[in-house]
Amino acid sequence: AQRRKTLRGALSGLAGSPPAAEAALRAAGVDPGARGEVLDVTAYARIAEALAAARTSEVGP
């Protein structure tokens, strides 16, 4: 069985770049090197909130 991508790699397209994905994951309190199968629903919610906050700060008021 092949291992899945790390969260950093999997979210880099959505976040805009690998460093942006890593920053959002760290803001959510999640290890960027983790794989999706080890997360619980709460961690996914924190990641979604961190990505939304990053997008909001990019756009500005």
Query: What average pLDDT score do residues 3-11 get?
Result: 90
Q: Where are the domains of the chain?
A: 7-59
pLDDT at 4: 81
pLDDT score of 60 more than 90: no
Helices (H), 1-61: 7-15, 18-27, 41-59
Local structure of 25: helix, strand or coil: helix
For 50, residues 6+ apart whose C-beta sits below 8 A from its C-beta are 24, 25, 27, 28
Tell me the per-residue pLDDT of 18-58, one tens digit each, with 9 for 90 and over.
999 999 999 999 999 999 999 999 999 999 999 999 888 87
Q: Is the pLDDT of residue 2 over 80?
A: no
